[in-house]
A and B are shown apart, each in its own frame.
Chain A
Amino acid sequence: MARNVNFDLSHPLMEAGLESPVDEEVVHDSFHQLIAEQSRNDGLSDAFELQRLQRDLEEEERQDDVPYLSSPGHEFRGNRPGRRDVEWYDGERHVDPIIGERWSSATLKVLSSMPSRTIGRSRGAIISQYYNRTMQLRRRRQSRPSIRDFSHSARPSIRGYGMEVDGTDAEGTEVSKRERLVNNLQNLSASDRVRMLRAMPLSVAEKSELRRLALQKEKRTITGSKIPCCSRLKYYIIIAFRQSWYSWLSFMHSLQLWQVALKRVSGRFGTGVLSYFLFLKTLLFFNVFLFLVTGSFLVLPQAVHPPELAAKRPSFSGLELLTGAGYFSDTVMYYGYYSNYTLQSCRDNVSMPNGTSMGCASKQNSYNMPLAYFFTIGVSFFITSCQSRFGQSFRIDKSHSILAVKVFCSWDFKVIKRTSVKLMSENICTQLREVNHKDANNTACQKLWRLMIHGLAWVICIGSTIGCVLGIYYFSDYMHKSIYEGLQKKTTTLLDEARLLALPVLVSLINLLLPGLFNLAAWMEDYDSPSVCAYVAIARNLMLKVSVLGVLCNHWLLNVTADSKLTCWESFVGQELYRFLLMEFIFTLLDTLFGELLWRLFSERVLKRRRKPVFDIARNVLELIYGQTLACIKPSTTCGPFRELKTMFQAGKRWVEELEKDNPNLSLLARAHSYLVENPFFLFVGAGIFLIVIYFHYQVVDGQRKIINLLQEQIENEGEDKKFLITRLQSIHEQKRTPARRLTSQDSGC
C-alpha cells in the first residue's frame, strides 16, 4: 500500500524525523534522549521546531572541539584522540569515507529512526515487520482467481487477492498496526498462525495477547458456519492425536533421564562434549528399540518353537560368557539357529523341517520365519537411516565470513564454571588472532621445519597403522588354523576355547594404545588452532578403525566363509563379533578405571601437577560408531532362515508364489509383484526418474545462487542511495544553518 511520501524538507515532521512507520513504544533506555524526544514530538509547530534547531545550534557551537560522532549516542569513541578517528574506516578498501563525517543532531535523528535500525530495538517495528510478513504469507497461500471475476475499479496489484473484502485493510481507516496484524493472523491457517506467533521476538505476555485476540475473532466467525460432520470428526481425531503426542513428550521429559549429569557436563565442557553424550543417549534408546523389535518378532517365536537339534550340545562352562561359543552356539543368539520354514503351532506339536507344511490340519497361528527376519532387519535399517539428518546447514552462497561467524556465534552460553569460561575465552582469543593473521610472516626456513615435523608425524601414524594391520592379518591367519585344529578334536579343552579370545584381545589392545601414539604425535606437531588439531586426530583415528575393520571383514569373508569345514559360518562370525564387542567393553572399563586413575596419581604425586581429566572426543566417538557396526547378511546353503535360497528377496518371492497357489484370485498381485521386483525395465525407469529429479533440483539451486548474487549487488546499491540521501540531507541542513548562524551573530553583535 503506497503511502504518500513527503520529500518536502521544510516540512516540520520531516525535520524531526518522524516519518517512520513505527509505534514508538520503546523498551530500552540508552539513546533514550533522542528516542524520547521523537515519541514526544507529535504535532510540532513551526515555531517550536525553530526553537529546537536554535538549541541544537548552540549546543553544537559549544562543542566545537568534540570529535565527530559516526553514529548516535557514541560517547565511547568520543574519548579517543581526534584525527585518528577520521581514518578509522578510510583508505583500506572501498569503504566510503563519508561515514566519518560530522552529522548534525537532526540528521542523527533521521538516521536513528530508519526502519533498518528501529527493527533492532523497538517493539512497534517488530509488529510492523510481522504485519508485512503475515500479509506476504496470506498472499502466497491464496490462489489467485481469474482477473475477469473482478471489477475494473480494483487495483491491479491486489486484484484477486481478496483484499478488497477485507474491511480493516482499506486505506484511510484509522486502525493501528497491531489490529491489522491480529486480523492477518486470524486469516491464516492454524498451523501458519502458530508458526508465526512462535517466531515473533516479542514478550510472552504480548504474544499471548495477540493469540487471544486472533482466536477470539475466529470463534466469532466459526460459530456462524456449519461444519460438516465428517470433517469435524477428522478435526477431533487430529486434536486427540496432537494431545496424546504432547503428553507423551512431556512424560518423556519428566523422566529426566540423566538431566542433572548432562547439565554438569555441559557446564564444565561445553556444547561439543554434550553432543557426544546426547549421541550416546540416542544410540542407547535406538538399541533398546531394536532389542524390543527383534526380541518380540524374532526371538520369542523361535524360542517358543525350538527346532530339532542336530548334534549334542556341549555342557555349560563359565567360559561361554566370554567366548560366546560352546553352549551358546546353538541358541537364539546366532543366525544359524533360526528356522527357514513357517512355524506352526499345531495341537500335536509337530513341525516339519522342509519347505512345505504338512501334518497340520488347521492353518492357524502360522509364522513365516524367513519373511519375519527379512522385514524386521529391513525396517531396522530403514529406521537407522532415518535417524541421520543431513544438510540443515547446507549453504549455497559463498561462505567466506568465517571471522564474523566466529565472533557472533562462538560463545557457548551453556558453560557455567568459571575456569571453563576462562578457557573458552582464551580459545576464542587464539582463534581470532589466528584468523586475523592469516598470512603470518614465517621465514622459509621455519616453514620447511614445520613441514618436516608434520611429515614425520604423519609417517609415524601411517606406519604404525600399517604395521598393526599387517600384524592382525597374519595373526588372524595363524589363529584360524590353530582354532581349526582344536575344533577337529573330539573333545574341546578349555585352552582351545580360550584361544578364540586371542584375536579380540589383540585388536582391543591396538585400539587402546594406538590413539595414545597419535596424541603424542599431535603434541609433537604443536598445532595452532584446536579445530585443525581435532580434525587431524579424527582423521587418524578413523583411518585406524577403518583399516582394522577392513582387515577383519576380509578375514571373515575370505577365510571363514570359504572354509568348507565350518557348517554354519554366520554363527561363527556372530560369535566373533560378540567376542570383539565384549573385549572392547572390558578393555575400556579397565582403561577408565585403572589407566586414568593411575595416571592421575602419578601426575599428582610424581610430577606434582593438578591435571583435570580431558575428554578425548575424537577417540570416543569413533569407538561408539565402531561398536555399532552391523554385519551384512549373505545367505548360506546350510544354516539360517535363508538356507536354500540364492538371495533374501527370494523369500518374498516364494511367499507370493505360495499365496498364488492357495488363492488363484491373487494371481494379479503375484504377477504385479514379479514384474516390479524382477523386471529390469521398471528399475531403469525408476532410476531415470530419480536422476531427472536430481537434475531439476540442481538447476533450481544454481538459479538461486545467481539470484543471491544479484540481490547482494542490489543491497549495495541501496546502501549507496542511502548514503547519498543522508549527505544531501546534511548539506541542506548546513545551508539552512548558516543563514541562521549569521542571524544570531548579527543579533549578538548588536
Chain B
Amino acid sequence: MRKTIKTPEVPMDRILTLPELKSNPFRKRICHVFSTSEHKDGSLTFEDFLDLLSAFSDSATLEIKSHYAFRIFDFDDDGTLDGGDLEKLVNCLTGETDDTRLTAEEMRQLISNILEESDIDKDGTVNLSEFQHVISRSPDFVSSFKIVL
C-alpha cells in the first residue's frame, strides 16, 4: 500500500516555547487536546495549530470554548470530570509552590463543594452538559479563554 505523505508535525517541546504557552499551567493538556498525531505525543500539525488558535480566538462561540475547556480539564480523557480530574485542575490553578497548594483536607472539602454545586444528576462526576451549565453563569469566561498571538 502506498504510504500517504504526512504533514510535518512540530514536537510538543517546540510548541511549548511559544511565549503565550510557556508559563501556562495547562500547556501540556492544550497540546494533547489539539494533537491528532498517531503517536499521541502532543505534537501539532499546521491544521492542529490552526484549530488551537481558532478555539482560543475572539470569534469562537461560547459553545466551542466550553467544549475545549472541558477537554483540557479532563486529565484522564474519559469524558467526565471526576474527583481526580478536579484535584489535578485545582493543583494546576494554585501553582506548584508549597505554600499555595491546598492541604488534603481543604482539597477534599473543595471537591465535594464543587460536586455539590455542579453535579446535577448526582453521579459523582461533572459531564459536559453540567460543565457548560456552570460556564454559562460566568460572564467573563469568553474573554478570559483567549490566546492572541
Residues of A participating in the B interface, judged by any CB pair closer than 8 Å: 27-32, 70-74, 76-77, 88-89, 92-96, 99, 112, 116-122, 126, 198-201, 203-205, 263, 266, 271, 275, 392-393, 395, 399-405, 407-418, 421-422, 425-426, 428-429, 432-433, 436, 712, 715-716, 718-720, 722-723
Contact = CB atoms under 8 A, between A and B. Distances in A.
Interface string B49-90: 011001110010101100111110110111110111010111
A88 B19 contact: no
B114 A429 contact: no
B84 A77 contact: yes
B146 A27 contact: no
Contacts of A199: 61, 63-64
B128 interface: yes
Contact of A118 (B32, B55, B79): B79
Interface in B99-149: 100-102, 106, 108-110, 112-118, 120-125, 127-129, 131, 134-141, 143-148
A407 B102 CA distance: 13
Contacts of B95: 422, 425-426, 429
A426 B86 CA distance: 18
B10 interface: no
A519 to B, nearest CB: 25
Contact of A436 (B56, B70, B101, B113): B113
What 10 A-B pairs come out closest when comparing CB atoms?
Answer: A719-B121, A393-B139, A425-B95, A117-B79, A201-B67, A120-B79, A29-B40, A401-B117, A409-B138, A429-B94
B130 to A, nearest CB: 9
Contact of A30 (B19, B77, B94): B77
Contact of A70 (B22, B25, B124, B147): B124
Contacts of B59: 198
27 contacts: A28-B32, A30-B78, A31-B78, A95-B124, A116-B80, A116-B129, A119-B127, A122-B79, A198-B64, A203-B36, A203-B51, A271-B140, A275-B143, A393-B139, A401-B134, A401-B137, A405-B135, A407-B89, A416-B19, A416-B20, A429-B95, A436-B109, A712-B120, A719-B121, A719-B122, A719-B123, A720-B122
Contact of B144 (A204, A404, A411): A411
Contact of B147 (A200, A405, A413): A413
Contacts of B22: 416, 418
A403 B129 contact: no
Contacts of A722: 121, 123
A88 B50 CA distance: 41
B82 A70 contact: yes
- Range of interface residues on B (Cβ < 8 Å): 35 or more
B26 A403 contact: no
B93 A428 contact: yes
A99 B121 CA distance: 12
B114 A72 contact: no
B71 A120 contact: yes
B47 interface: yes
A237 B72 CA distance: 43
Contacts of A271: 140, 143-144, 146
Contacts, number: 226
A560 B116 CA distance: 62
Contact of A73 (B67, B76, B114, B138): B76
A408 B131 contact: yes
Nearest to B121: A719
A28 B77 contact: yes
Contacts of A413: 24, 56, 144-147
B4 interface: no
A77 B83 CA distance: 9
Contacts of B101: 429
Contacts of A719: 120-123
B93 A411 contact: yes
Nearest to A263: B148
Contact of A716 (B90, B102, B120, B145): B120
User: Which of A116, A201, A275, A414 has its CB near the most chain B CB atoms (within 10 A)?
Assistant: A201
B144 A121 contact: no
Interface string B6-30: 0000000000000110111110000
A678 B30 CA distance: 64
A441 to B, nearest CB: 15
Nearest to B139: A393
B23 A436 contact: no
Given A117-B78, A428-B94, A715-B120, A403 B114 contact: yes
Contacts of A426: 95, 100
A709 B67 CA distance: 25
Given A31-B76, A71-B82, A72-B78, A95 B61 contact: no
